Amino acid sequence: MFPMPERSLRNCRVLIAEDEFMVAESLRHELEDIGAIVIGPCATLEQTLAEIASEVQRIDGAVLDVNLAEHAIYPAADMLTARGIPFIFTTGYDANNLPPRFAAIPRCEKPISVSRVARAVQRAMHSEARHP
């Protein structure tokens, strides 16, 4: 077996915000399969904000569903930005609908490919590492 680039997520703590249980579970499994430690998943904005704010656990990166139970995830995204934590969006909506301040945030449109998400998370985390 070739070493997969995702392997570098080993021991990274990744927050998942995704209200669809099946999708959240699937994402959790995939990320865990490549060595990440999953925080959450969170089904609501409240939970997500609480998880970030509590800072009980270190967060290395995040995968945020743009729309959580009919609430926009933007406050959580802003919070992550403020803390310098890299993240990516997953969305079922047209990507053009995102506010301009998130223009630089990588996004994956649903249905998401978990390997793509993993690569994106990895890339986001590494680019953050270069520009702390």
Partner 1 sequence: MERAEPDARKAGIQSNDGGEAATASGAGPSRQPINDQQRFLRHRKTLIEFGELVLDGGDLETILGKACQLIAEALDSGPVRISKTERQGEEPQASSIMEARTDREPARAGKNLGESAVATDRAEHHASTAEIEAGEPGTIGFIRVPILLPGRRRYGSIEVEDVPLAIFRPRDMVFLRICALILGVAIDRLHRVSDLAEAGERFRVIVENARDYAIILSNREDIITEWLPGAAAIFGWQPHEIVGQPAATLFLPEDCEKGLPEAELETARREGVASDMRWRRRKDGGHVCIDGRTVVLRSSAGGLCGYMRIGQDITDRKRDEEQLRENEERYRQFTVASTSILWIRDARTFRLEHANPAYVGLYGDRLDRFRAWLKSIVPQDRRGALVALRRVCRGERVTHQFRVRRAYDGAIRLIRNTDFPLLDTHRKVQRIGGIGRDVTEEAATASRMKILVGELQHRTRNLMAVVEATAEATLRSSSTLDDFKYRFRDRLGALARVQGLLSRLDDGARITFDELIGTELKGIGAPEDPARVTLSGPGRVLLRSGSVQTLAMALHELATNAVKYGALSQEQAHLSVTWSFEPTSADGRPWLHICWDERGVRMPTRPAESPGGQGRKLIEQALPYQLGARTSFQLGPDGLHCTISIPVSRRSMADVSDA
Number of residues near partner 1 (by CB under 8 A): 24
Long-range contacts formed by 69-77: CB under 8 A, 24+ apart:
69/19, 69/43, 69/44, 69/45, 71/44, 71/45, 72/45, 73/17, 73/45, 73/48, 74/99, 74/102, 75/45, 75/49, 76/17, 76/45, 76/48, 76/49, 76/52, 77/102, 77/105
Q: Site residues for partner 1, window 13-32 (CB under 8 A)?
A: 19-26, 29-30
**Of 13, 107, 110, 116, which one interacts with partner 1 (CB under 8 A)?**
110
* Smallest separation (angstroms) from partner 1 to the CB of 12: 21
Q: Which residues bind partner 1 (CB under 8 A)?
A: 19-26, 29-30, 41, 43, 67, 69-70, 91-94, 97, 109-112
